Structure 1
Amino acid sequence: MTALADRVAELTGADEATRVFPVEGGDVCDAWSIVLRGGRHGMYRKVFAKTRTRPPYGFFPAEAAGLTLLAVTGTVAVPDVLAVEDDLLVLEWLEPGEPTRDQADRLGHDLAALHGTSALSYGTPGRPAFIGPLPMPSPPTEVTDPADWPGFHAEYRLLPYLQQAVDRGGIEPSDARDVERLCDRIDEIAGPPQPPVLIHGDLWSGNVHWAGGDAPRARLIDPAAQGGHPETDLAFLELFGCPQLSRILAAYEEVRPIEGRAERVPLHQLHHLLVHAVLFGSGYGAQCGAAARAALAG
């Protein structure tokens, strides 16, 4: 831990690291709270560091790039990226707070503004991307036609993870066949054409950091930022429950109402469920089948 703390101090321009503590909560990486002294930022400050032994190529740079993409829109709040290397990411420390109504209302408005930001293409062509520990494939060239989203989603966000789930025994054959049926018919149930917009891409409730302090504002963390469909972010928020969810969605719809969204929620949750089936097994595989059948039933 001392070597890590000294490395973070050097990367951030501090004189020294005075304390380092492990932080609980991460399944993919080790996390640390590090107190730094001196340098251009003053006497003492705390930072957050994430490490992973032998991460896949581009793992932490992809997260840093995603945070930067979200930040430059000026729409949503994210932690500042302080340093990034192949096996290390250093971020601004965020004090935790309660999920207040005001933060929820602001978050709904912020997400609506984020989803008004055009993306160059669906996915992340030309750069690595990950959802949790799993690589996210993308088209080799830009895909921009709104009518192409269903095909993109099936080819790059559903079928690759379905195959991995099958290979790992994370989904039963009958459920896998229903997911394949959905992919075959996705054009029929995808809803109106949607041009690519910037989305968080992994917006389950654990990636919403409710802030403390004098002017609290919820931050988005651990993005899989990409060009995608705005309904995906909203469906992910609903998947495992989220504090103040009804207020977030109501505030979002004040700015950006989406007709018919509720019937498409199972379609947009399926990607995340397939990722979980790959990582955690057949309990999620059964949910994948159920989501596919619900989407097909419309």
Structure 2
Amino acid sequence: MRITRDLGRSHAWSLHEAVLDDGRRVFVKQGADFAAEAAGLRWLAEPGAVAVPEVVEADGDRLVLEWIDPGSAAADAAERFGRELAALHAAGAKEFGAPWPGTIAELPMDNAPAPDWASFYVSRRVLPFVRLARDRGALSPGDVALVEEACAYAPEVAGPPEPASRIHGDLWSGNLLWSGGRVVLVDPAAHGGHRETDLAMLALFGAPHLNTILGAYREAAPLADGWRGRVPLHQLHPLAVHVCLYGEAYRGSLLTAASEVLAL
């Protein structure tokens, strides 16, 4: 393999374009343990519902992926993605969690299973990162108490019980690659979770053609009543992660989301 271009850095790792001995172009990440990312990509690929890059190699501190040529975000690709995402979620998961240790950005994430989604989400996703943000000085004890109160309320406002869905887990707009008339998913924090989590993440930072994606998704897989109101609940985790990574810039958004959960 020959590195042909440096693409900068992301979090704790470096990014490169490279060419394999057989002439294939690949995308290379170096500088971290990418086992969780590789496992997640392979797991998302299993049902054949969505496009993900092929994992060429995952060894030590290097991850080599199929190269994806970027394209423009188009409405027809968004409609297709909405249907594909619904099919991915419908493929399901054995439980809430995953059989590998998780990561999100450079942070470890507990994927140990839990008996229901609300307990998994609160204990494995939201509270560990809220407490890490407190330990890093980005949240006050009062801030933490507010989010903990919202978490205690989560079982009452989580909506009708649903089986575990096969979700991407970090589905913000930057992890959608528009290429060849469809969306290719990258950088997952994949696990068995609630399908509304992926949809709320798409909304958090404004995915292109979001209404088209959601419309196609809902035609393929209708959502339970009240799903729009539950968006802040599903955004608690990514916002807490952002407070850990970037500090007080996301504190207000996290506390607003917690207050909105308590108002449901």
Alignment TM class, shorter chain as reference: over 0.9
For residue 32 of structure 1, what is the aligned residue in structure 2? 16
Task: Tell me if the contact between 1:49 and 1:90 (Cα under 8 Å) persists in the aligned partners.
Answer: yes
- Write the distance in 1 (CA, Å) between the matches of 2:129 and 2:24: 41
1:32, CA displacement in angstroms? 0.4
Q: Is the 8 A contact 1:94 1:211 kept in 2?
A: yes
Structure 2 CA distance, aligned partners of 1:155 and 1:79? 31
> Counterparts of 1:255 and 1:67 in 2: how far apart (Å)?
23
Counterpart in the other structure of 1:134: 107
**Deviation readout 1:89-134 (Å, 9 max, x if unpaired):** 000000000001111011100111111112111112x421111111
Question: Which of 230, 241, 245 is the matching residue for 1:275?
Answer: 241
Of residues 219, 229, 232 in structure 2, which corresponds to 1:263? 229
Deviations 1:257-286 (A, max 9, x none): 212110000000010000001111012122
Which structure has the larger Rg over C-alpha atoms? 1
Task: Say whether 1:224 aligns with 2:178.
Answer: no
Q: Note the 1:7-46 alignment, pairs <5 A.
A: 9=1, 17=2, 20-24=4-8, 26-38=10-22, 44-46=23-25
Rounded Cα–Cα distance in structure 1 between residues aligned with 2:88 and 2:146? 33
Corresponding position of 1:41: none
Matching of residue 250 in structure 1 with residue 250 in structure 2 = no
* Residue 69 (structure 2) aligns with: 95
Matches within 5 A, 1:144-223: 145=115, 148-212=116-180, 216-223=181-188
The 8 Å contact of residues 172 and 285 in structure 1, kept in 2 or not, is answered as no
Structure 2 distance, partners of 1:128, 1:177, is 28
Q: Which runs of no fewer than 5 residues in structure 1 stay unpaired?
A: 1-8, 10-16, 39-43
| Equivalent position SS for 1:169 | coil
Distance in 1 between residues matched to 2:61 and 2:226, nearest whole Å: 43
Partners of 1:257 and 1:203 in 2: CA distance: 19
Residues 1:209 and 1:28: Cα distance change in structure 2 (over 3 Å): farther
Aligned to 1:218, the other structure's residue is in SS state strand
Structure 2 residues without counterparts, runs of 5 or longer: none
More deviation, 94-103/23-32: 23-32
Q: Give the drift of 1:45.
A: 2.5
Aligned to 1:121: 95
CA contact (8 A) 1:171 1:284 kept: no
Identity, in percent, stands at 46
User: 1:25 Cα shift?
Assistant: 6.5
**Higher mean C-alpha deviation, range 235-244 or range 20-29:** 20-29
How far has the Cα of 1:88 moved from its partner? 0.3
For the 8 Å contact 2:11–2:106, the answer to whether it is kept is: no
Give distance in 2, aligned partners of 1:68 and 1:241: 26
* CA–CA separation in structure 2 for the residues paired with 1:49 and 1:135: 21
Please say if residues 168 and 278 of structure 1, whose CA atoms lie closer than 8 Å, have aligned partners that are also in contact.
Answer: yes
Pairwise CA RMSD: 1.4
Q: Which residue of 2 aligns with 1:12?
A: none
Aligned residue for 1:48?
27
Q: Select 1:295's aligned residue among 246, 261, 264.
A: 261
Structure 1 distance, partners of 2:198, 2:146, is 23
What is the Cα deviation at residue 46 of structure 1?
1.1
Q: Which aligned segments of 4 or more residues in structure 1 are displaced greater than 3 angstroms? A: none
Residue 273 of structure 1 aligns to a residue whose secondary structure is helix
Shift in Å, 1:240: 0.8
CA contact (8 A) 2:111 2:191 kept: no
CA separation of 1:273 and 1:223: change in aligned 2, threshold 3 A: same
Change (3 A) 1:107 1:121: same
Cα distance, 1:172 vs structure 2? 3.1
Q: Following TM superposition, by how much is the alpha carbon of 1:191 offset from its aligned partner in structure 2, in angstroms?
A: 0.9
**Number of residue pairs aligned between Structure 1 and Structure 2:** 263
CA shift, 1:37, in A, is: 4.2
Distance 2:110 2:28 in 1: 27
Q: Quick check: 1:64 aligned with 2:38?
A: yes
